[in-house]
Chain A
Amino acid sequence: MLFYLKVLRVYYRSVLSLTLPISALVLAAPLLMGTPLPSPLFLAVVQKMASFPALIYLIGQFRPQQYWLYRNLHLAPWQLWAGVIVLDTLLLSVAHRLLAFLVAL
């Protein structure tokens, strides 16, 4: 399990440049539209449903070589993405809390 988390940290860092802008957009959209901030779970589900299938597909098409290291570490792409979804949801929740706090000020 520790090894999986170590590898997941490396993989998440490699896709963070793609997931971070999407998370920022999802968080910023309600503020820009002047609507109340939805719950973090709702935002996470919307973000994952709307962007992750396309993201996973495009990475598989255009950067398939990135999986070789992880396959040599006995991990399938779905195992990496399952972890990324959990980590990204946690990150989104933290950012949501921070944003809600700042909005309330």
Chain B
Amino acid sequence: MPAKQHTLEADGIQVQFDNQNVLSGVYLRVQTGQVVALLGANGSGKSTLLQTVFGARVVPDASVRVDGYPVMPAYRQPGLMSYLPQTGLWPSGMALATAARLLGVSLVEALADFPTLQKQAVEGSTRAELSGGTGRLIQTLVLMARRSRFLLLDEPFSGVMPVHIEQLSSRLRAARVHSGILLTDHRYQPVLDVADVVYLLRHGRLQLLTEPRAELRDLGYLPD
């Protein structure tokens, strides 16, 4: 029997920095079973939007709903949402196993498809002892192993080796079974390969792309 589908919606999000509209009149929709990509230039407000949906940023008129019910701040609802920030998810000096345990995940199980990572992430090792890309990948895999209903990933591919990007993409596709995934990254190709729905954040507005690759090329976000 297929899992019940859940819908995350966010709208009314208006954010200004230095009297400039960073986000205005945004409507975003993510369903479980989908990978939704959020693309845009540096400083276009992608991280701000993710943080607002997660509930970490208070925006007066914002509305975030799951299945029609308000869930603000969403992070307070156990099992509902996990968020990978651009910066480290946990302190760099904290043991990986400790962080994973706090998040309710077995590090060994989270890294099951990544034997090389398992060797690096031995008991007691910390993020500070790993390369930036490896640390990033481990954080992403730990969050994915939580199986939250919705997963917000801010630059999960950043610094990650190409071979691991392919494996991570496969994992993301598989995770759709139990989660709705909203992700943003500057590596457009792997994002487009894995995404079911693509939004472009431009001039503070969110645009749903029907032909993502062609439209991104036309707008100068992808090379010809």
Are A and B bound to each other?
A: yes
Known: A65-B88, A76-B73. A71 touches B54 (CB 8 A): yes
A51 contacts chain B at the CB level, 8 A cutoff: no
Check A65–B73 contact: CB distance below 8 A.
no
A76-B55 Cα distance, complex, nearest whole Å: 10
Within 8 A of B (CB), among A50-79: 65-69, 71-74, 76
Known: A10-B102, A67-B56. A72 touches B91 (CB 8 A): no
B89 contacts chain A at the CB level, 8 A cutoff: yes
A95-B222 Cα distance, complex, nearest whole Å: 62
Check B91–A71 contact: CB distance below 8 A.
no
A76-B72 Cα distance, complex, nearest whole Å: 12
Known: A72-B82, A73-B103. A66 touches B76 (CB 8 A): no
Q: Number of B interface residues at 8 Å Cβ cutoff, please give it.
A: 22
A80 contacts chain B at the CB level, 8 A cutoff: no
Check B87–A68 contact: CB distance below 8 A.
yes
A6-B99 Cα distance, complex, nearest whole Å: 12
Check A69–B87 contact: CB distance below 8 A.
no
Tell me which residues across on chain A come within 8 A of B89, comparing CB atoms.
Answer: 68-69, 72
Give the shortest distance, in Å, between A64 (CB) and chain B (any CB).
Answer: 8
A14-B77 Cα distance, complex, nearest whole Å: 25
Please tell me which one of the listed residues B73, B76, B78, B102 contacts residue A69 in the complex, with CB atoms under 8 A apart.
B102
B85 contacts chain A at the CB level, 8 A cutoff: yes
For the complex with contacts A69-B99, A71-B75, A76-B75, 15 further pairs of A-B residues with Cβ separation under 8 Å are A6-B102, A14-B91, A65-B87, A68-B56, A68-B83, A68-B90, A69-B89, A69-B91, A69-B103, A71-B54, A71-B56, A72-B83, A73-B102, A74-B75, A76-B73
Q: Which residues of B contact A (CB under 8 A)?
A: 54-56, 73, 75-78, 82-83, 85, 87-91, 94, 98-99, 102-103, 143
- Name 11 A/B residue pairs within 8 A (Cβ), A-sorted: A14-B91, A65-B85, A67-B56, A68-B85, A68-B87, A69-B91, A72-B75, A72-B89, A72-B143, A73-B103, A74-B76
Q: Which residues of A contact B (CB under 8 A)?
A: 6-7, 10, 14, 65-69, 71-74, 76
